[in-house]
């Protein structure tokens, strides 16, 4: 009897052990992933690939679609202005109709056809003959009347998409959208071994010309590199408008390695605007005091280059009858009208050497009523071939 009771007790213990094993074994013996483990779902969170099922919310919608799962948010680029929609009052909805202004002596506006300067020692234009150049510059009465109308209208005149001409408060401006395509900016320098070879602006003209201006006010002391990379010379400590790594800037290039990375540059100076305000402090640009005082106070014609803070816009401006400070304020005021913060500016050429010609139909029409000057190089805007 005792033996039977003992065997019955052992059997119940074994049965109990077999019943408990399924409940306790997973915690002890299972080391692999469970059937619903999270790793199988993680890739759906970490990638931006849409699920196979079509969904209106997951399908990209073109340029407005926003990338997801980026480590650092990428700011949306601010679109550039449609410069053709601007006038002297503003751009877009702010460009309200404005009355025609009266012609003033300060405009120094050309009212007679231009005559090319006779310069036997100057290099000849490589594309046009003398007769073709004379024909290109011989604007008829209707074209000159059109120039006058544009200058007094307070409206922009589009030379090409992203390139406009405007007169604002008696100053002439070429405003260029540096992000627009369809044109090229050139620094045209005669291909001679003689440094400082003099040319006339008509040397720089081509069938694609939209704008031709003088550039470096004194080429022997500036920094010039053409868009083809040809380095005419580099002068340590001289201001320049230049492009480096695809970005335009106005600054003083002080080292040769920095200059070597530059793709195109127009030497100039002195710098007279910095961080959005008039700042005439160019003592480190190697100018003598007599010249600095002349540049500051003269009301004769001046030509300048200015660039916006976001480096999207370039202003080539000419004025007559303004001091340098007044000229700077004119550029700043125009930028504010258009929602553009102009950051820095420097002088190009001036006085009797100032020159701007723009494309009006079949003609290149000089804007200022001055004789064609002798210069060293040109800032030119051309249609892209």
Domain spans, the chain: 168-383
Q: 315, 173 in Cβ contact below 8 A?
A: yes
Structure tokens at 99: 């009355």
Q: Which of 142, 156, 149, 164 is nearest to 103 (CA)?
A: 149
| H/E run at residue 376 | none
The confidence score (pLDDT) of residue 178 equals 97
CA dihedral 120, 123, 127, 132 (to 10 degrees): -20
Q: Which two tokens stand for residue 208?
A: 């694609």
For 225, the 3-state DSSP assignment is: strand
> What residue ranges of the chain have pLDDT lower than 70?
1-77, 217-221, 283
- Per-residue model confidence (pLDDT) at position 118: 92
**pLDDT at position 183:** 96
Enter the tokens of residue 333: 């005021």
pLDDT of 77 reads 65
Instruction: Quote the radius of gyration of the chain (alpha carbons, Å).
Output: 34
pTM of the model: 0.79
> How many C-beta neighbours within 10 Å does residue 283 have?
9
Q: What does the pLDDT read at residue 75?
A: 59
Query: Which H or E run contains 264?
Result: strand 262-267
Q: Under a CB-based contact definition with an 8 Å cutoff, are residues 267 and 221 in contact?
A: yes
- Of 295, 307, 279, 310, which is closest to residue 351 (Cα–Cα)? 295
Q: What is the pLDDT of residues 199-251, one digit of tens each?
A: 999 999 999 999 999 997 555 567 889 988 888 888 888 899 999 999 999 99
Whether residue 301 contacts residue 322, with contact meaning beta carbons closer than 8 Å, is answered with no
Tell me what pLDDT residue 78 has. 75
């Amino acid at each position: 009897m005792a033996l039977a009771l003992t065997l019955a007790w052992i059997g119940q213990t074994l049965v109990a052990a077999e019943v408990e094993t399924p409940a306790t074994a997973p915690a002890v013996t299972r080391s692999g992933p469970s059937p619903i483990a999270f790793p199988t779902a993680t890739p759906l969170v970490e990638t931006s690939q849409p699920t196979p099922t079509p969904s209106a919310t997951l399908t990209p919608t073109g340029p407005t679609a926003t990338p997801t799962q980026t480590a650092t948010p990428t700011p949306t680029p601010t679109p550039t202005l449609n410069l053709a929609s601007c006038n002297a009052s503003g751009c877009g909805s702010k460009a309200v109709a404005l009355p025609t202004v009266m012609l003033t002596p300060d405009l120094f506006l050309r009212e007679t056809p231009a005559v090319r300067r006779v310069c036997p020692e100057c290099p000849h234009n490589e594309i046009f003959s003398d007769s073709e150049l004379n024909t290109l510059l011989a604007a008829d009465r209707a074209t000159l009347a059109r120039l006058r109308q544009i200058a007094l209208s307070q409206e922009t005149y589009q030379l090409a998409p992203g390139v406009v001409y405007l007169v604002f408060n008696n100053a002439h401006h070429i405003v260029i959208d540096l992000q627009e395509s369809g044109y090229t900016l050139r620094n045209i320098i005669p291909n001679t071994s003689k440094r400082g070879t003099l040319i006339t602006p008509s040397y720089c003209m081509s069938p694609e010309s939209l704008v031709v201006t003088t550039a470096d006010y004194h080429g022997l002391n500036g920094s010039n590199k053409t868009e083809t990379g040809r380095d005419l010379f580099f002068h340590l400590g001289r201001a320049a408008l230049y492009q480096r790594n695809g970005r335009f800037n106005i600054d003083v290039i002080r080292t040769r390695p920095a200059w070597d990375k530059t793709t195109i540059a127009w030497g100039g100076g002195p710098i007279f605007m910095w961080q959005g305000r008039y700042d005439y402090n160019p003592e480190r640009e190697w100018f003598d005091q007599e010249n600095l005082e002349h540049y500051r106070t003269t009301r004769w014609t001046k030509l300048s280059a200015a660039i916006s803070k976001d480096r999207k816009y370039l202003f080539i401006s000419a004025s007559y009858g303004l001091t340098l400070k007044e000229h700077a304020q004119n550029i700043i005021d125009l930028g504010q009208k258009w929602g553009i913060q102009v950051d820095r500016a420097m002088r190009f050429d001036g006085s009797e050497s100032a020159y701007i010609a723009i494309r009006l139909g079949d003609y290149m029409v000089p804007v200022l009523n001055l004789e064609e000057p002798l210069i060293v190089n040109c800032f030119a805007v051309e249609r892209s071939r």
